[in-house]
Amino acid sequence: MYWDISNVAVIRELIAWIKFQFRVLCNGRVEVWDETGNQKLGEAETYMPVNMIVEPKFFELQVGGYEALLRSIGADGSLIGRPPAVGGLFC
């Protein structure tokens, strides 16, 4: 899969996706809330991954790399200086 990481919206979605993956793998449950956050609309059954180790540092590095990339993009969409190195996305 190809991600256009020169697009600010795409980078923000990648960050949200990585955080979502981490929360699901660590918490084991997905909850859906309304836009105010006051009413839970539903939740999934608890999911506990087996035969896998979730390494928080991996997710922190991924999010940090993409956040650094966001900071390196100017208001006009152009890169400010050299872009930071960003590791491969865990899918």
Helix axes 8-27, 56-71, angle to 10 degrees: 160
41 and 32 Cβ atoms separated by less than 8 Å: yes
How confident is the model over 10-47, as pLDDT tens digits? 889 999 999 988 887 877 778 888 999 899 999 888 77
Name the pTM for this structure: 0.66
How confident is the model over 38-54, as pLDDT tens digits? 999 998 887 777 777 77
Q: What is the DSSP secondary structure assignment for residue 37, as one 8-state letter?
A: S
